[in-house]
Each structure stands twice: as structure tokens, then as C-alpha cells.
Amino acid sequence: MRTVFTLTLLCLLAAGQARAQTSDQWAPSAGAMVGSLNSNDFTPFGRLIEAKSGYKSALTGRSWDVCAAHGRSAAGHIRICYTQVRVDDGSQLSDEFTDGTTEAVVVKGFKVERMWRFGPRKWPVAPAVSYHWGMGKVSGAVRLTEYDTVFDPRTFDVHRGRPMSTERQPAGDILAMVGKNWTLITGASVGATATLGPHMTVNVGVYGIELPGAYKGQVQFVYWPR
């Protein structure tokens, strides 16, 4: 009788553990870029910025997020995140007769990210891709220096002369894409996801894009409580 009771208890515990491992749940998550974001490494985003702002961009920076993930271990999942994209001070914006440098430019907002995992659940490491979309508010400033226009009668060329004026403009006036101070938070990545025991998932983005550019290296952690 004692043996039957013990076997029954073990079966119930195993069934409960299996349900916990196969049912979706909410979990805390966080991530950050390891490599630097660079607008020169992804031409489509650079063209989008130029079309909206009128300036060619040479922006660098990094992003990070804190999220609530929904899914389960060793499977794809969704992350709902607060995120920041921080542009390095001194990043460049320019046109033919203007140079701009960024000062404390940050995009703060929210995004929804979907991660797809490929392969059997028994694989401890599997290929993965992700895509995210959201919106954020732009803060900070851009210091713009305008140059005099010089006409060369020998070649009929027009080129830059001496600096004429310098002014600071809100970064939202230049980099916003939705309304006055808001912009898109969007991107994707390819890489791998690793299952470290029943509770921890680590996502690694080997290559990714994030407006305003591309990066190499991103790490995300998800802790599944059940």
C-alpha cells in the first residue's frame, strides 16, 4: 500500500512539473546591446532618417530594456518592454551646408517583441529570430552649425565657407517620425536561444537592426518562475 501511495504521489508530481513546463506563463526579462548601434551599417534606416529630417546621419549608440515575457522555457515567446535607445554624444547629422552633433539624445518608450525558436524543445541551444515594434519619445538636443555659401566663378561650384551661426534645437524637431517628439522603435535580430535549466532562457542576437542602425551583439535573459 505504501508503495502504491509513493508511486501515485510521484506520478502526480511529474504531471504537475510537465504542465508547468508546457503551459505559458509570465516571467521577468531584461536585455541590452553588447555591440554598438551604427546608422552607417544599415542603409535603409539611414535613408529613412534623411527623408524625414533632411540630414544624413552618422549616429551610434546602444539600447536596453526591461520586460514582461509571456511563453515558456525552450520555446518562442513574447516580450512587452520598456526600452531606451541612447545615442552617443557627438553623433553626426549633416547636409551640404550644416553640421550637427547630438547632445544627450535618448528615445524612451515601449515595444512588443516576438521571438521565434526553431528546433525541438530538447535542444539546449536552437536558432532564433525576433522582431519588435513600438514607439518612443525623443529627448535631448542637436547643436547645428551653419556655414556660409561660397561661389567659385572659375569652376561654377558652390561650396562651404566659414561658419556663420550655431544653435541648439530639440532633437525631437529633427529625429521625430511620428508627430513632434515621437519616433518609431523597431527592429529585428537573428541569433540563438539557450535553455539553461527549467527556469532560465538566454537569447543572443548575433546580428540585428534597431532604428537608427545595425549592431552585432545583444543578450536577453528570461527567468521562468515555474
Amino acid at 48: L
Average pLDDT over residues 117-145: 96
Residue 117 falls within a domain, yes or no? Answer: yes
Residue 16 falls within a domain, yes or no? Answer: no
Print the domain residue range for 114.
25-223
Segment holding 213, helix H or strand E: strand 213-215
Residue 5 falls within a domain, yes or no? Answer: no
Which residue blocks in the chain are alpha helix, DSSP H?
2-22, 43-53, 171-175
In tens, the pLDDT along 72-129 reads 999 999 999 999 999 999 999 998 889 999 999 999 999 999 999 999 999 999 999 9
d(CA 121, CA 74): 5
Average pLDDT over residues 207-223: 96
CB 132 within 8 A of CB 185: yes
* Residue 39: CATH number of its domain: 2.40.160.20
Q: Which residues contact 7 (CB under 8 A, 6 or more apart)?
A: none
d(CA 126, CA 190): 11
How many domains does the structure of the chain reveal? 1
C-alpha 91 chain-centroid distance: 18
CB 188 within 8 A of CB 131: yes
Cis omega (within 30 of 0) for bond into 44:
no
Looking at the chain, the whole-number percentage of residues with pLDDT higher than 70 is 86
* Cell reading at 10: 510521484
In tens, the pLDDT along 31-49 reads 999 999 999 999 899 899 9
Residue 218 falls within a domain, yes or no? Answer: yes
CA distances to 39, 156, 157, 158 from 153, rounded to whole Å, are 37, 5, 7, 9
Residue 2 falls within a domain, yes or no? Answer: no
pLDDT value, residue 1: 41
* pTM reported for the whole predicted model: 0.82
Q: Is the pLDDT of residue 20 over 90?
A: no
Residue 191 falls within a domain, yes or no? Answer: yes
* Cell reading at 196: 539553461
Residue 8 falls within a domain, yes or no? Answer: no
d(CA 94, CA 46): 12
Residue 4 falls within a domain, yes or no? Answer: no
d(CA 8, CA 21): 20
